[in-house]
A and B are shown apart, each in its own frame.
Chain A
Amino acid sequence: MTVAPKREAYDVVVIGAGPAGLAAAATSAEAGLSTLLLDENIGPGGQVFRAIASTPVTDRNQLGADYWVGADLVQSLRATSAEVIHRATVWSLDRNLDIAVSVGGASAFVKAQRVILATGALERPFPIPGWTLPGVMTAGAAQTMLKSSALVPDGRTVIAGQGPLLWLLAAQILRLGGRIDRILDTTERGNYFAALPHAFAFLTSPYFAKGLAMMREVKAKVQVVSGVTELSAAGEGQLATVSYVAGGKRETIPADLLLLHQGVVPNVNLAMSADVEHRWDDLQLCWSPVLDASGNSSVAGIAIAGDGAGIGGANAAVVRGRIAARAAVEALAPAAAAKLRSMAALRADLAKAERGRVFLDTLFRPAPQFRIPSGDTIVCRCEEVTAKDVLDSVAIGATGPNQLKAYRRTGMGPCQGRLCGLTVTELMAQARGKTPQEIGYYRLRAPVKPITLAELAAVPKSEADIKAVVRG
């Protein structure tokens, strides 16, 4: 049973119950602050620990030991007095720290003294020809089905792209008895050399041995084609074939399912709609919030932790959650901060958790042809705008994503740019010979997730309204 928040105001409201949010809420509540954790999913865990409290997968090896770390985080949170609400969609946050949340079909408003955003990551758009065909989906969506329902593909399946999650998903599918016909690795050959100077840090990171073992495990069972430089999907109303070029040779293979993945990027929509300042990250090729060492953003009272603060992975997310929460405790109840792990120790934890990240970011930096499409390839799915449409608009005067709305309505559909924003920024930057930072991003607006008119209409009336509205 999902219920509305018990109070109108909290010391700390944490948004998102992935690793960062679980850790932040536990730390804040442990220190005695009134703490509310709002999360959109049906249970705790976010994406990395999705369904941690409910997964039907019981063999611990199948999802890997790292997955089950989430169970401990959930345990420590449950030991506190933090109020946790799942299936709660936060659809508005502003600089006054007023939060609008939709719970069980009704909206509620809460106010916070501190907000910790732990909204995690989104998969980077992968706009290749045919990516909008039924039968093409993101690896993340496939992983969601696998974790929450133990569903794995059984048709002819191709996985294409790059990055740690791609290999993890492949391993998980195989362990659960799913089918993978081929893996098309789009990692650029040059990236291996570029990443080399950072390899030492990575060798000493916990990801190294695990990552290597996982890739070996997958490669033993599936044909892996590396150095893929071109990729497209085709079919009449449904995916039928996948074409690719590797080593200069083109091949077309039949497929029922194509899973695409080229890394994750911070989910910035809620933070941006609250006017938090973001900067373009040239290494991770995405927008990241401008934060101080404690995760505080440009808007007073709003801190950001986890992958939403810049991609760092689950271990870093946990520490960042603790750091942001500790900073909130220091501000609101300094005496209580003494019993928490010291900031210096937490920062050392973070440095350790972030070791090897630059190597991964450099190695798995997606190639331009998979980020910046051309011709008839769809860029904006909501409004069916192609790369050519965007370039045509640039030619007659559109200077950035917001101006482009006046020409093509890009970013004005229900997804508010989640599926096209990065593509539009980079495409326009390339076309205009500017940096993504100069080109900018969509101005995002609440509700960051659509709410029904009926739900908004059900918002409790103010005194004045009750007096005024007697008709109907």
Chain B
Amino acid sequence: MTRCVDAIVVGGGIHGCSTALHLCLAGLQPVLIEKDYAGRHASGVNAGGVRQLARHIPEIPLSIRSMGIWEKIKDLLDDDCSFESHGQVLVAENEEELAVCRTRVAELNALGFTHEELIDATELRRLVPAVAESCPGGVVSRRDGAANPAQTTTAFRRKAEQLGATVREGVAASNIRYSDGLWHVDVGAETFAAPVLVNAAGAWAGKIAAALGEPVPVETVAPMLMITSRVPHFIDPVVILRGRKLSFKQFSNGTVLIGGGHLATPYQDRNETVLDWKSLATSARTVFELFPVMRSATIVRAWAGIEAKMKDDIPVFGPSSRHKGLYHQFGFSLHGFQLGPGAGAVMAELIVNGGTQTRVGDLGIDRFHPSTL
């Protein structure tokens, strides 16, 4: 038997869950389909950075929109998501890197964006006392912070379900087809039909798009992270290096998360990743050099989440260029977590109102396919 709903959202990452939640808030009844469980992949196991800092210009409006939601996340979800706002700092390790920072901030200012602020060595030292003496400055985005990704994605899922979303976990969406003006999707023995289909399937979204005639240049990647034992509190903001692949965050319980985008080998069909310890050693070395306080810490766990990375590093977001009622929301290319809350809100506006005040036009799939609609 086919069950009719208002929208079918494929993918229970933070994006799918956020979109389902915001559709509920707009009075719709969506179904959310997740082949594993909400937050199983990148959304639940990423670094948790809530970052406007150092973003690609086309996604900055979406990031700013999202930041407003993050700051009131508890009102939205009845869960604080362990969101903390101590800023994010981009560290320049030398004058050349600082010069690049200066140009970047000037460019953003010219476009009317003021969230990134150039800082000198003194301010850098004030924000990050543990940083090596040789660093001449950097950039800060003061409203940024971090949250617990698994807690956050779970909270979005839970709230969406409370507000009326139907959630199906543990069975993949299959046989996606359009007939009689409706999208039909099988979930095990069930079939759902709706006028709207949202493709938010993360690393699995590229296949769905291709099967619907909209192939995009996307690859599956698995950025690695590692976490340390508890060490005495020494740092508040999230720190990113300008020149090397490293990001760094100490949680309130003292553990330190070390990331930066070194990649594991994903085995997508098996939900598995194989870590590259030689690359993680590079991260460990960088931390060792820059933060002597960390030298005696132990590494407790390392992992990688599977996600989609676009060739141009910006997401695919917005209506299909070929099919009525189809929307894409994937390819966040290692920086989708902070965008989740805002992207869900904007996607719901696109679906319900047919448009949005937030500028997302540069993110559309039509950058790869001229519209045929």
| A-to-B contact residues, CB < 8 Å | 92, 94-96, 100, 107, 109, 275, 396-397, 399-400, 402-403, 405-407, 412-414, 416, 445-447, 450-454, 456-459, 461-462, 465, 469, 471-472
A405 touches B150 (CB 8 A): yes
Using A96-B274, A402-B40 as known contacts, list a sample of 13 further A-B pairs with CB atoms less than 8 Å apart, ordered by residue number in A.
A94-B275, A95-B272, A100-B277, A399-B37, A402-B37, A414-B229, A416-B300, A445-B302, A446-B302, A453-B288, A456-B277, A456-B281, A469-B282
Q: Contact between A396 and B158 (Cβ–Cβ < 8 Å)?
A: yes
For window 253-303 of B, CB contacts with A under 8 Å fall at 270, 272, 274-275, 277-278, 280-282, 284-285, 287-289, 294-303
Taking CB atoms, residues of chain A closer than 8 Å to B282 are: 461, 465, 469
Are the CB atoms of A446 and B275 closer together than 8 Å?
Answer: yes
Asked whether B154 lies within 8 Å of A397 as measured between CB atoms, the reply is yes
Report how far A396 CA is from B79 CA in the complex, Å: 12
**Is B148 engaged at the interface, CB distance under 8 Å to the other chain?**
yes
A406 and B295 form a contact (CB under 8 A): no
Contacts of B272 in A (CB 8 A): 95, 275
Known: A94-B275, A406-B39. A453 touches B228 (CB 8 A): yes
CA gap between A327 and B41 in the complex, in Å: 36
Contacts of A96 in B (CB 8 A): 274
Question: Could you tell me if A472 and B289 are in contact, using CB atoms closer than 8 angstroms?
Answer: yes
- Answer whether A406 and B299 are a contact pair too, CB < 8 Å, given A94-B275, A397-B154, A459-B278: no
Given known A275-B272, A399-B37, A457-B288, contact A450–B277 (CB-CB < 8 A): no
Given A275-B272, A406-B39, A406-B148, residue A453 in contact with residue B299 (CB < 8 A): yes
Q: How far is the CA of A356 from the CA of B280 in the complex (A)?
A: 48
Q: Indicate whether B315 reaches chain A with its CB closer than 8 angstroms.
A: no
Select A397's contact among B158, B274, B295, beta carbons within 8 Å. B158
Q: For the complex formed, measure the closest distance between the CB of A274 and the CB atoms of chain B, giving whole angstroms.
A: 9
Q: Smallest CB–CB gap between B166 and chain A, Å? A: 15
Nearest B residue (CB) for A400: B37
Cα-based distance from A134 to B200 in the complex (angstroms):
50
Chain A residues contacting B289 (CB-CB under 8 Å) are: 471-472
Q: How far is the CA of A38 from the CA of B169 in the complex (A)?
A: 41
A96-B274, A459-B278, A472-B289 known; A447 vs B301 contact (CB < 8 Å): yes
A445 in contact with B229 given A403-B154, A454-B296, A459-B277 (CB within 8 Å)? no
Note all chain B residues with C-beta closer than 8 A to A446. Answer: 275, 277, 301-302
> Is B44 interfacial (CB-CB < 8 Å)?
yes
Number of chain B residues whose Cβ lies closer than 8 Å to a Cβ of chain A = 41
Judged by a CB distance under 8 angstroms, whether B93 is at the interface is: yes
Asked whether B151 is an interface residue with its Cβ less than 8 Å from the other chain, the reply is yes
Give A454 to B287 CA distance when docked, in angstroms. Answer: 9
The distance in angstroms between the C-alpha atoms of A462 and B280, with both chains bound, is 12
Whether A94 and B148, one on each chain, are in contact in the complex, defined by CB atoms closer than 8 angstroms, is no
25 contacts between A and B (CB under 8 A): A275-B272, A406-B39, A406-B148, A406-B151, A407-B151, A416-B300, A416-B301, A447-B299, A447-B300, A447-B301, A447-B302, A450-B298, A450-B299, A452-B298, A453-B284, A453-B287, A453-B288, A453-B296, A454-B295, A457-B281, A457-B287, A457-B288, A469-B282, A469-B285, A471-B93
B44 CB contact (under 8 Å) in A92, A406, A413, A462: A406
**Cα distance, A416 to B227, chains bound together (Å):** 12
How far, in Å, is A18 (CB) from chain B's closest CB? 25
How far apart sit A469 and B272, CA to CA, in the bound complex (Å)? 31
Closest to B169 in A: A399
Instruction: Determine which of B154, B296, B299 lies in contact with A456 in the assembled complex, contact meaning CB atoms within 8 Å.
Output: B299
Which residues of chain B come closer than 8 Å to A454, judged between CB atoms?
288, 295-296
Chain A residue at smallest Cβ distance from B280: A456
Per the bound structure, the CA–CA distance linking A447 and B284 in Å amounts to 14
Enumerate chain A residues within 8 angstroms of B37, measured Cβ to Cβ. 399-400, 402-403
The secondary-structure label for the interface of chain A is loop
Contact: A456 with B284, CB < 8 Å? yes
Residue of A nearest to B253 (CB): A409
Evaluate contact between A451 and B270: CB separation under 8 angstroms: no
User: Which of A403, A407, A413, A465 is close to B300, meaning CB atoms less than 8 Å apart?
Assistant: A413
Q: Which residues of B contact A451 (CB under 8 A)?
A: 298-299
Chain B positions within 8 Å of A453 at CB level? 228, 284, 287-288, 294-299
Contact A450 B229 (CB under 8 A): yes
Query: Roughly how many angstroms separate A359 CA and B37 CA in the complex, as a whole number?
Result: 39
Q: Say yes or no: A109 contacts B277, CB within 8 Å.
A: yes
Whether A450 and B284, one on each chain, are in contact in the complex, defined by CB atoms closer than 8 angstroms, is no
* Docked-complex contact B158 and A452, CB < 8 angstroms: no
In Å, the complex CA distance between A399 and B157 comes to 13
Interface residues of B in 3-52 (CB under 8 A from A): 37, 39-40, 44
Residues of A within 8 A of B228 (CB): 453
From A95, A400, A456, residue with most partner B Cβ within 10 Å: A456
**From residue 54 to 108 of chain B, which have CB atoms closer than 8 A to chain A?**
93-94
Quick one: closest B residue to A412, CB to CB?
A: B301
B151's nearest neighbour on chain A, judged by CB, is: A406
In the complex the two chains form, what is the Cα distance from A456 to B284 in whole Å?
Answer: 6
Give Cα A471–Cα B92 distance, bound, in whole angstroms. Answer: 13
Interface residues of B in 132-180 (CB under 8 A from A): 148, 150-151, 153-154, 157-158, 161, 169
Min distance, Cβ B276 to any Cβ of chain A, angstroms: 10
Which residues from chain A contact B148 at a C-beta distance below 8 Å? 406
Question: Quick one: CB contact mask for B196-234 with A, threshold 8 Å, 1 for yes?
Answer: 000000000000000000000000000000001100000
B303 near A445 with CB under 8 A, answer yes
**Chain B: which residue is nearest A465 at the CB level?**
B282
* B97–chain A nearest beta-carbon distance, Å: 10
Q: Are the CB atoms of A406 and B150 closer together than 8 Å?
A: yes
Contact residues in B for A407 (Cβ distance below 8 Å): 151, 154
Q: Which residue of A lies closest to B39 (CB)?
A: A406
What are the 10 tightest A-B residue pairs by CB atom distance, in nearest-first order? A459-B281, A406-B150, A450-B298, A456-B284, A457-B284, A457-B288, A457-B285, A406-B154, A94-B274, A445-B301
Residues of chain A lying within 8 A (CB to CB) of residue B287: 453, 457
Q: Is the CB of A95 within 8 A of B274?
A: yes
In the bound complex, CA of A403 to CA of B154 (Å): 8
Q: Is the CB of B300 within 8 A of A275?
A: no
CB neighbours (8 Å) of A445 from chain B are 301-303
B143 CB to nearest chain A CB (Å): 25
A471→B301 CA distance, assembly (Å): 27
Which of B278, B300, B303 makes the CB contact (< 8 A) with A450?
B300
Q: For residue B149, which residue of chain A has the nearest CB? A: A406
Q: In the complex the two chains form, is B270's CB within 8 Å of A275's CB?
A: yes
Minimum distance in angstroms from A405 CB to a CB of chain B: 6
Minimum C-beta distance from A4 to chain B (A): 15
**C-alpha gap A453/B231 in the complex (Å):** 12
Contacts of A399 in B (CB 8 A): 37, 169
Tell me the minimal C-beta distance from B336 to chain A in angstroms.
18
